[in-house]
Amino acid sequence: MVLVRIPHLRFLPFLLLLLYIHCISCYSTTTTPLNCTDTGRVCTSFLAFKPQQNQTVAVIQSMFDVLPGDITVEDSGWDYVFIRKNCSCASGLRKYVSNTTFTVKSNKGYVYDLVMDAYDGLALPPNTTRRAKNGAVVSLRLFCGCSSGLWNYLMSYVMRDGDSVESLASRFGVSMDSIESVNGIGNPDNVTVGSLYYIPLDSVPGDPYPINNTPPPAPVPAPSVENISGDQVSHKAHVPYGWIIGGSGVGLFMVLFGIVLCVSLKSSNCRSEARSNEKDAEGKISHKFHILRNPSFFCALDPDVFDMDKPVVFTYEEIFSTTDCFSDSNLLGHGTYGSVYYSLLRDQEVAIKRMTATKTKEFMSEMKVLCKVHHANLVELIGYAATQDELFLVYEYAQKGSLRSHLHDPQNKGHSPLSWIMRVQIALDAARGLEYIHEHTKTHYVHRDIKTSNILLDASFRAKISDFGLAKLVGKTDNGEVSTTKVVGTYGYLAPEYLSDGLATTKSDVYAFGVVLFEIISGREAIIRTEGTMSKNPDRRSLASVMLAVLRNSPDSMSMSSMRDYIDPNMMDLYPHDCVFKMAMLAKQCVDDDPVLRPDMKQVVISLSQILLSSIEWEATLAGNSQVFSGLVQGR
C-alpha cells in the first residue's frame, strides 16, 4: 500500500495556478493566445462571452470595463454576448491582451477561483493566491487578438462541448479554412474543449443588446366595411383628385427633404450620435448627469470646491467629433481606468481619457486633485465632459508619450534611445512633481500608482506625472502621514508595507519611484521574466530584487563589473560610471524594506540635482570628441 501525502489545503490555489500555467505551456500554438512583437499596435477585437444567470448587462459592463454600445447579442438571443475591446501587444507577455478590472463580490474562496469562474477562460489567471475579500478590485488582462490584415477583426472564443470548427464556421458565417488558418489547426477534428480559439470576422458580430422600452400602445382596430354607412362609402369612393395630387406633392417633398437631411447629417462627421447634451433656454449646454445621482458629484461644477478657476466644460459632440468618433487611429493607449485619445480640441492639442460611468470614483479623484494642484511637472487638467454613460477628462497633450515607451524596446516603438543626461533630467522632473504633491500642496496627497507609464514627456522631453485616479489624501498621525486603504496600483511598484497592511504613505510613493530609477538605469521592466533553471516555465522576479542583488556585489563605483550587465545597453557605454552608481544607490535607498529608512522626495530631488550637475560636467569633458558629443546633444 502506497501512502500519498496530500498538501495542506491552503496551498491548493497555488498548486492549481501552477497546474494551469503548466497546462497552458503544454498546449500547442493552436490553443494558446496569439504571439506578437509589435508592442505599439492597437486594434479593435471582440470576445465571445456566455453570461451566467447572475451576470446582468450592468455586471458584464463592469467586468469588461465597456459601455452598453460595446456589447452585442447573438442573433438567437442571450446565449452569447460579444464584447468589443481595444487590444494591444503586451511587451512582457508577447501576447495580445486587453486590460480590465474585476470587483470581488464575496468573502468566500480565493480570488483566483472567482476570476477563473467569472471569465470562463477569457482572462489571464491573476498572479495571486489571496483569499477573496468583498469589494477588492483586481487588475486583469483578457486574451484578445489583432488580425494580420486578411480579416477586419478577430474574436476570442473558448471552445465548449459540442463545438467544432464546422459548427463555428456555420454559426458565424465564415469558412472553415479561415478558422483553421488563423489558429494553425492541422486537423479540424482535433480541437480542445476549454481552449481559446480565434474566429476571423469581417463585420461586427451580433445585434445591439435589447433595451426594455415601454411597449407602444395597441393599435386601434380599423372599422370593417360592414360598419361603414352607405354615405361614408360613397364619400370615400369619391375622393377629390385635388387631394390625391396634393398628397403626392407632400410625399415627394418629404422624400426630397429626407435625402437632403441624410446628406447633411453625413457631412457633419458623426455628430448625429452626439445626443448627450441639450441646450437650455439661454443657449448654454446642460449636461445629463442621470447616472451621477450622488449630490457630492455636482460639487465638481462649483469652482469654490476646487480653489481654482472653473475647468472648461466641453460638450460630448466636441469630444466625439474631434476624436473622429473615437477611431483607432486617434487612440493613444489604454489602461485600467479608461482609454486615451488624441484630439485637436478648440485649436489645442489635447489627450482625452474616456471612462465608463462605473469609474465615477476615479473620475472624481482626478478632478479633485488636478483642480487643486498646478506644477510644471504635473500633467494639467484642461476640462471635462460627461454623459449618461461616459465620463471624459481633457488633459494637455504630451507629444513624446510615456517614459515607459522610451525605455522598453524603444526602437520597435519608433523612438531613439534616451541618452544618460535625458534620463537624469526626466528622473529629476518626475521627482519634483512628486515632491510637490507630498509637501507643498495645501493638503498632501499620495499618488499610489507611480510607474514609467504614468510619467509623460512633452515635446522637449520634460517629464510630467499623470493619472491621479488612485491619488488619495494623507492625514497626519503619530507615525507621520498615512492613509489606510485597499491595495491598488501595479505589481512591481508596490511597497512591502502597502501590500501587507494597506498603509498608503508618501514613503510608498518613494518606493515606487525607486523602481522607476532602476528602470531608467537598466531599461528593464518592473517585473522581469527569466528562464527557470529547473523548469520550462519563466521565473517572474521584481526588478528591485534583481538590482538589489547586483548592488550587493558592487559596493562602490570602482567595482561595477557585476553591474554593467544590468545597465541599459541602448546607452552604448556613454555614461559616467560614478553617476550611474550614485543613482543606483539612491534607488536602493528608496526601495528599502523599512519605510523609515527611505528618503523623502525632497532628499531625492537634492540627490538627483547633484547627479545631473555632475553628469553635465562629465558631458562637457567629451567636447573634444565631436562624434560622441554631437550624438549626446542630438539625444538631448
pLDDT (0 to 100) of residue 335: 65
Q: For the segment 495-511, what is each residue's pLDDT rounded down to a tens digit?
A: 998 888 888 889 999 99
Q: Is residue 250 part of a domain?
A: no
- Could you tell me if 517 and 378 lie in one domain? no
For residue 344, give its domain range. 286-397
Task: Identify the segments of the chain with pLDDT beneath 50.
Answer: 1-31, 213-245, 262-269, 271-308, 476-479, 484, 533-535, 624, 626-636
Tell me the one-letter amino acid at 74: E
Q: Is residue 215 part of a domain?
A: no
State the residue for C-alpha cell 517614459: 403
Instruction: Write down which residue in 397, 426, 451 finishes a domain.
Output: 397
State the residue for C-alpha cell 531608467: 520
Q: Is residue 195 part of a domain?
A: yes
For residue 557, what is its C-alpha cell?
563605483
Q: Is residue 260 part of a domain?
A: no
- Could you tell me if 323 and 463 lie in one domain? no
- Could you tell me if 416 and 530 lie in one domain? yes
pLDDT (0 to 100) of residue 556: 67
- Could you tell me if 68 and 18 lie in one domain? yes
Q: Is residue 626 part of a domain?
A: yes
By the 8 A CB rule, do 588 and 514 touch?
yes
449 catalytic, yes or no? yes
What distance, in Å, lies between the first and last C-alpha atoms of the chain?
Answer: 73
- Could you tell me if 449 and 590 lie in one domain? yes
pLDDT (0 to 100) of residue 100: 86
CATH at 300: 3.30.200.20
User: What pairs with residue 46 in β-bridges?
Assistant: 84, 155
Q: Is residue 229 part of a domain?
A: no
Q: Which of 429, 449, 509, 592 is catalytic?
A: 449
Instruction: Write down which residue in 340, 373, 397 finishes a domain.
Output: 397
CATH at 613: 1.10.510.10
Number of domains comprising the chain:
3
What sign has the CA pseudo-torsion 554, 435, 378, 493?
positive
- Could you tell me if 390 and 439 lie in one domain? no
- Could you tell me if 391 and 443 lie in one domain? no
pLDDT (0 to 100) of residue 236: 38
- Could you tell me if 465 and 384 lie in one domain? no
- Could you tell me if 382 and 458 lie in one domain? no
The Cα 200–Cα 193 span in angstroms is 19
Check the annotation: does 284 bind a ligand.
Answer: no
Q: For the segment 115-127, what is each residue's pLDDT rounded down to a tens digit?
A: 888 998 899 877 7
Instruction: Write down which residue in 155, 179, 207 finishes a domain.
Output: 207
- Could you tell me if 333 and 407 lie in one domain? no
This prediction's pTM: 0.57
pLDDT (0 to 100) of residue 23: 40
Q: Is residue 276 part of a domain?
A: no
- Could you tell me if 354 and 415 lie in one domain? no
- Could you tell me if 321 and 454 lie in one domain? no
For residue 482, what is its C-alpha cell?
498615512
Tell me the one-letter amino acid at 111: V
Q: Is residue 66 part of a domain?
A: yes
